Amino acid sequence: MRIRDPIIVTRLAELDVELQHDAALAKLTSLGIGGTTDLLRIKKHQSLPDLLNLLDVNHVPHKFLGGGSNLLVGDGELPWVVLQLVRPEPDVVLDGNFAHVDAAADLGRMITFCAKNDLGGMEGLIGVPGTVGGALRMNAGAYGMQIGSYVREVKLYRAASRTIEFLRGDQISFEYRHTSFAPDDMMLAVILELPSKPFKEILQGIRICNEKRRSSQPLGQKSAGCIFKNPPGASAGRMIDELGLKGLSVGDAQISNRHANFFVNAGHATAKDMLALVADVRERVQKSFGVSLENEVVVWNA
């Protein structure tokens, strides 16, 4: 979708929003898949209520993009514009055991920065690509921990009230890869309370998690992490593996040979290829195990 109206273009500049025409979502997502649309880069949180009002009044549909690492975007010209926060400098400020983090901060860099200042707890998430906002929205977790356990306050743009609000951690429910945020809420910043730990000890935990991840996941390939959520008490990866589906492909969309719940873009895969592979696997698992797999990856398909 292209914003052409000069009045909107002028107003965007007044709101300090950078407009990039025809941005390729394939370049903004870890899967390397996705068509083109206008990208609106937001430099100030305060401009969000006016920006969203401007888009609504002019009937411009929009979506919020974080780090693009858990996302499968449709092909071709996309029927909505994409909003993304510009990362401020600094993006993490420490105050005792509290880390004040901007949603646009890189998750891995935030974990390492806190570690260097003797704040731990997040070791399990090292190696998970994406922004802190994205991790927060979906309650990213690994190796027995989840980010939600450390959240003390969230600053967000609430689409329902069209205002910027602050929520305490205990006002938010954090479940397995799910939170009580509304789909159109936009994460802006978070305060995490992290346990004190000596850097050396955190580093050891980080090394162990890195090693586990390297040995079981296709880190060098384009993916969106796990495609399906694990059903209660079972492992989607193990079920797909047991069906002998590793390496199965549709076009360049392929089930990783290393981990069967990672679907990789082995070249020039399209969303159509990837979605066909996802549907095929879901059907086979349903037939063989009687289990309906739910997407873990977020799909933006017009």
Which residues are designated catalytic? 177, 226, 296
**CA proximity to 131, closest of 157, 103, 150:** 103
Taking CB atoms, the residue at the shortest distance from ligand EPU is: 225
Position 225 contacts ligand EPU (CB under 6 A):
yes
Cβ proximity to ligand EPU: between 134 and 225 the closer is 225
Alpha-carbon span 25 to 151, nearest angstrom = 30
Position 135 contacts ligand EPU (CB under 6 A):
no
**Which residues between 150 and 189 bind ligand EPU (CB under 6 A)?**
none
Alpha-carbon span 92 to 89, nearest angstrom = 8
Cβ proximity to ligand EPU: between 153 and 241 the closer is 241
**Which residues between 236 and 275 bind ligand EPU (CB under 6 A)?**
236-238, 241, 259-261
Cβ proximity to ligand EPU: between 167 and 248 the closer is 248
The Cβ-side half-sphere exposure at 70, using a 13 Å CA radius, reads: 24
Cβ proximity to ligand EPU: between 41 and 137 the closer is 137
Q: Which two tokens stand for residue 293?
A: 């797999």
Alpha-carbon span 90 to 49, nearest angstrom = 24
- Contact pattern from residue 48 through residue 87 relative to ligand EPU, giving x for each residue in contact according to CB under 6 A and a dash for the rest: ----------------------------------------
Of 2-10, 49-57, 98-106, 234-242, which part binds ligand EPU (CB under 6 A)?
Answer: 234-242
Cβ at position 53, least distance to ligand EPU in Å: 35
Alpha-carbon span 150 to 191, nearest angstrom = 8
Contact 31, 223 (CB under 8 A): yes
Position 143 contacts ligand EPU (CB under 6 A):
yes
Q: Which of residues 119, 226, 277, 278 is near ligand EPU by CB under 6 A?
A: 226
Contact 107, 140 (CB under 8 A): yes
Alpha-carbon span 5 to 11, nearest angstrom = 10
Q: Which of residues 229, 245, 295, 302 is near ligand EPU by CB under 6 A?
A: 229
Cβ proximity to ligand EPU: between 50 and 241 the closer is 241
Alpha-carbon span 247 to 157, nearest angstrom = 41
Of 15-23, 86-94, 235-243, 274-282, which part binds ligand EPU (CB under 6 A)?
Answer: 235-243
Q: Which of residues 122, 126, 142, 269 is near ligand EPU by CB under 6 A?
A: 142
Catalog residues that contact ligand EPU under the rule CB under 6 A. 142-143, 216, 225-226, 229-230, 235-238, 241, 259-261, 296
